[in-house]
Amino acid sequence: MSQFRIQNLNLYYGSFQALKGVNLDIPERRATAFIGPSGCGKSTLLKTLNRMTDLVEDCRVEGKVLFDGKNILSRLTDVNTLRRRVGMVFQKPNPFPMSIYENIAFGPRTHGVRKKEELDELVERSLTEAALWGEVKDRLRKSALGLSGGQQQRLCIARALAVQPEVLLMDEPTSALDPISTARIEELVLGLKREYTVVMVTHHMQQAKRVSDRTVFFLLGEVVEAGDTERLFSSPQDARTGDYINGRFG
Amino acid sequence: MRRGQTFERLMQTVFFLCACVAVASVILICIFLFSGGAPALKEIGVLRFLTGRRWEPGRETFGVLTMIAGSFAVTLGAVLLGVPVGILTAVYLSFFCPPKLRRVLRPAVDLLAGIPSVVYGFFGLTVLVPAVRRLFGGSGYSVLAVSAVLAIMILPTVVSVSESSLSAVGDGYYEGARALGAGHERSVFRVMLPAARSGISAAVTLGLGRAIGESMAVVMVAGNQAIFPKSLLVGTRTLTSNIVLEMGYAADLHADALIATGVVLFVIVMLNNLIFALLRRRRMKK
Ligand SMILES: Nc1ncnc2c1ncn2[C@@H]1O[C@H](COP(=O)(O)OP(=O)(O)O)[C@@H](O)[C@H]1O
Ligand SMILES: [Mg+2]
Please list the pLDDT of chain B residue by residue as tens digits (286 residues).
567 788 999 999 999 999 999 999 999 999 999 999 999 999 999 999 999 999 998 898 999 999 999 999 999 999 999 999 999 999 999 999 999 999 999 999 988 888 999 999 999 999 999 999 999 988 999 999 999 999 999 999 999 999 999 999 999 999 999 999 999 999 999 999 999 998 999 999 999 999 999 999 999 999 998 889 899 999 999 999 999 999 999 888 999 999 999 999 999 999 988 988 888 787 766 5
For A110, the closest of B172, B173, B181 (CB atoms) is: B181
pLDDT for residue A249: 67
Task: List the domains of chain A with CATH numbers.
Answer: 2-245 (3.40.50.300)
Crossing angle between the packed helical segments A149-161 and B171-179, to the nearest 10 degrees: 30
- Measuring CA to CA, which residue among A69, A42, A48, A27 is closest to residue A200? A42
Q: How far is the CA of A226 from the centre of ligand 1 (A)?
A: 21
Q: Whose CA is nearest to atom 16 of ligand 1?
A: A41
Confidence (pLDDT) at B5: 85
The domains of chain B are located at: 2-37, 65-285
Q: Which amino acid is at B146?
A: V
Sheet containing A16-27: order of strands? A16-27, A2-13, A59-67, A70-71
Query: What is the least distance, in Å, from the CA of A85 to any CA of chain B?
Result: 9
Residues with Cβ within 8 Å of B76's Cβ and at least 6 positions away in sequence, in order, are: B147
CA distance linking residue A220 with residue A19, whole number of Å: 8
pLDDT of B1: 57
pLDDT of residue B286: 56
- How far, in Å, from the CA of A52 to the mean position of ligand 1? 13
How confident is the model over A160-190, as pLDDT tens digits?
A: 999 999 999 999 999 999 999 999 999 999 9
DSSP string over B131-181: HHHHHH-S-S-SHHHHHHHHHHHHHHHHHHHHHHHHHHS-HHHHHHHHHTT
Whole-number Å distance, alpha carbon A206 to ligand 1 midpoint, is 24
In the 8-state DSSP scheme, what is residue B234? S
Burial of B57 (0-12, 13-18, 19+ CB in 10 A): middle
Subunit contact B176:A143, Cβ cutoff 8 A: no
Kindly report the length of chain A: 250
Ligand whose nearest atom lies closest to the CA of A46: 1
Chain B residues with at least one Cβ partner in A under 8 Å: 170, 172-173, 175-183, 186, 190-191, 194-195, 286
Report pLDDT for B279: 82
Closest in A92, A110, A160 to B172, CB measured: A92
User: What is the A49 CA–ligand 2 centroid distance (Å)?
Assistant: 14
| Pocket lining: A43 vs ligand 1, CB cutoff 6 Å | yes
Which portions of chain A are predicted below pLDDT 70?
A: 249-250
Give me the pLDDT at residue B40, please: 92
* Interface-testing mutation among A57, A94, A139, with chain B (most B C-beta atoms within 10 A): A94
> What fold does the segment set B65-285 form as a domain?
MetI-like fold (1.10.3720)
